[in-house]
Amino acid sequence: MQVAAAPLTLGTAGHIDHGKTALIRALTGVDTDRLPEERRRGISIELGYARLELPSGRQLSVVDAPGHERFVRTMVAGATGIDLYLMTIAADDGVMPQTREHAVVLRALGIGTGVVAVTKTDLADPDVAMVEAADLLPEAEVVAVCAKEGEGLDQLRHALDKAAQTVRSRAERSAPTRLHIDRVFTIRGAGTVVTGTLWSGSIGRGDDLELLPGGRRVRARGVQVHEHPLENASAGQRVAVNLVGAAVADVERGQVLAAAGSDLRPTYLIDAKLAFVGREPDHGDRVQVHHGTRESPARLAWLGGPFWQVRLEHPLVPMRGDRLVIRQIAPPDTLGGAIVLDAHPRKHGPSRDGLARLERLAMGEREEPADERLRETRSREASEPARAPAPKPLSQSALALEQRLEDAGLEPPVDAELDADDLAALREAGRAVRVSKNLHFHPNALQQARDRLIALANRNGGVVTLAALRDELGTSRKFAQALLEHFDSEKVTIRRGDEHVLRRGR
Ligand SMILES: Nc1nc2c(ncn2[C@@H]2O[C@H](COP(=O)(O)OP(=O)(O)OP(=O)(O)O)[C@@H](O)[C@H]2O)c(=O)[nH]1
Ligand SMILES: [Mg+2]
């Protein structure tokens, strides 16, 4: 008798045009390139979904990722929560940049089980690509296939079955319910539906749930897996949840759907153990951090050894033990990954005690709940953004104002032209920064100004003048003056007469 194997999710990976979508279609009959633009351009843009039945009877949820270098962030969002990978390498092309980058992403996410398909064997001899594949992903079985002629597909199915047997299903681990939302849409007569890979826990009809960040309470009106309604969906598969209590406009991709009243909270600070594939970043570097289907720019503050504090510009919703993917912003590239050790630390730098604690956490040591509560209080006192553990949803007018500030860049309107309440709400949410008595800047604009000021100073022996900064930013004297004073007060620079000197360590 066939015992239903626990659900697992398979994610594709591989360079653009290496045959991921064609292979999934050959295996499942589903064309995951469903957007008109995808069909016209012949490339995948969004994540695609299908169900795959293996020879053993095991069902896999499949997430088909795009390979284009501009869509690596989409691939990361798709790869989050998968249990095993299917990497494709075209026989006529071999290992290419996104083959490598996707391999780095999979490592960073801790996904160590999968199969490599060397594709398009009708076009070239697969031998070279098979050797390259074994080199890049030594743990994986390598199978030569031709999606066009159907060769190698049975062998690939068996290889996937074998790999799946070695993965422990998420449904067997006890962990709080978490689904990282990758799509939001409406179904006529049903209302708002969200989908995602259920990381952990289960979602059943009637469950009380919460959307984070924001904290909006919702209820599951219905649950489906691959278009089949279920009473209860367990972790490890693609799940669609029909929500009561939220309109489509209230939900966004990147939010986390969690059990109501869970311990999950948004955070702007994370202490983590980082691992890089190449050069280590410098203290203070700005990077892009991906967690679940969410991402944010962040500064990396070195804490000693492999430990860093990740200081985020937008909140993420991680738990201890979660994986982060760390990417370079320009030129975009994946630098490595991280394991979350403390999802709610206070803002701190390196210290002997701090380092010892992180080493203990990295070894898997548990902390007493009392210590955690103490730290939470301290973190709320010490860190500005952490003071608002669940940022209130901003009003439409505040969001419009944020857009206006962001669009205005380095020449924002004066406060007198703006709604004071909306401005205060944005300031509280960290989405507007008071720079002088009557000027607020968007944090992104401020970040850009800071980067350019530092670069300018570094080109000029560590010194900037008002005139030089004004020319560098292409803005007026008024704005450059306000920014310089702000950065003096932020201790980026220190004023010496008419010059502003970059502080050491910047
Ligand atoms: N000759 C031949 N062509 C193939 C084979 N598999 C895929 N192709 C072709 O290669 C092109 C790219 O295939 P896709 O499956 O779209 O590649 P992909 O990896 O999904 O591409 P992205 O999602 O954009 O990264 C298409 O024109 C396919 O028809 C194969 O086995 N043989
Ligand atoms: Mg594709």
CA of residue 21 to ligand 2 center, whole Å: 4
Closest C-alpha to ligand 1, atom 13: 19
Atom of ligand 1 nearest to the CA of 22: 15
pLDDT at 1 over 60: no
Structure tokens at 32: 């995951």
Residues with CB under 5 A from ligand 2 (ion): 20-21, 44
Contacts of 107 (CB under 8 A, 6+ apart): 277, 337
- The DSSP bridge pattern shows strands 202-204 and 8-13 to be unpaired
CA of residue 118 to ligand 1 center, whole Å: 12
Closest C-alpha to ligand 1, atom 27: 42
- Residue 463 sits at φ, ψ, to 5 deg, of -125, 140
Segment 64-80 shows an average pLDDT of: 95
Closest C-alpha to ligand 1, atom 2: 120
Q: What is the pLDDT of residue 381?
A: 45
CA of residue 20 to ligand 1 center, whole Å: 7
CA of residue 31 to ligand 2 center, whole Å: 9
Banded pLDDT at 173 (limits 50, 70, 90)? confident
Contacts of 131 (CB under 8 A, 6+ apart): none
- Enter the pTM of the model: 0.74
Range from 252-266, 375-389, 396-410, 462-476 carrying the lowest mean pLDDT: 375-389
Query: Given the structure tokens 């860049």, which residue do they identify?
Result: 409
Which residues approach ligand 1 with their CB closer than 6 A?
14, 16-22, 42-44, 66-68, 88, 119-120, 122-123, 146-148
Atom of ligand 1 nearest to the CA of 68: 25
- The per-residue pLDDT for range 189-241, each reduced to its tens digit, is 888 999 999 999 999 999 999 999 989 999 999 999 988 999 999 999 999 99
Residues 269, 274, 278, 280, Cα dihedral to 10°: 60
Range from 166-180, 269-283, 373-387 carrying the lowest mean pLDDT: 373-387
Q: Which ligand is nearest to the CA of 33?
A: 2
Q: What is the pLDDT of residue 382?
A: 45
Q: What 3 state SS string does 16-56 have? A: CCCCHHHHHHHHHCCCCCCCHHHHHHCCCCCCEEEEEECCC
The answer to whether the beta carbons of residues 78 and 4 sit under 8 Å apart is: no
Gap between the Cα atoms of 483 and 476, Å rounded: 11
Atom of ligand 1 nearest to the CA of 71: 25
CA of residue 38 to ligand 1 center, whole Å: 12
Closest C-alpha to ligand 1, atom 14: 19
Helix (H, G, I), strand (E, B) or coil at 87: strand
Q: What is the pLDDT of residue 501?
A: 92
Atom of ligand 1 nearest to the CA of 38: 24
Q: Residue 331, preceding bond cis, omega within 30 degrees?
A: yes
CA of residue 27 to ligand 2 center, whole Å: 14
Mutational test site, ligand 1, from 148, 153, 156, max ligand atoms within 8 Å of CB: 148
Banded pLDDT at 76 (limits 50, 70, 90)? very high
Atom of ligand 1 nearest to the CA of 43: 24
- The per-residue pLDDT for range 365-416, each reduced to its tens digit, is 887 655 555 555 455 444 444 333 445 678 888 888 988 998 888 999 999 9
Segment 349-357 shows an average pLDDT of: 93
- The per-residue pLDDT for range 104-156, each reduced to its tens digit, is 999 999 999 999 999 999 999 999 999 999 999 999 999 999 999 999 999 99
- The per-residue pLDDT for range 35-62, each reduced to its tens digit, is 999 999 999 999 999 999 999 999 999 9
CA of residue 129 to ligand 2 center, whole Å: 19
Q: For all residues of the chain together, what is the average pLDDT? A: 91
CA of residue 148 to ligand 1 center, whole Å: 9
- Residue 354 sits at φ, ψ, to 5 deg, of -60, -45
Q: What is the pLDDT of residue 63?
A: 96
Gap between the Cα atoms of 177 and 175, Å rounded: 7
Q: Which ligand is nearest to the CA of 91?
A: 1
Q: What is the pLDDT of residue 409?
A: 87
Segment 478-485 shows an average pLDDT of: 94
- Angstrom CA distances, 155 to 12, 164, 167, 333, stand at 17, 14, 19, 34
Gap between the Cα atoms of 276 and 451, Å rounded: 23
Q: Which ligand is nearest to the CA of 39?
A: 1
Q: What DSSP character marks residue 400? A: H
Banded pLDDT at 503 (limits 50, 70, 90)? confident
CA of residue 460 to ligand 1 center, whole Å: 51
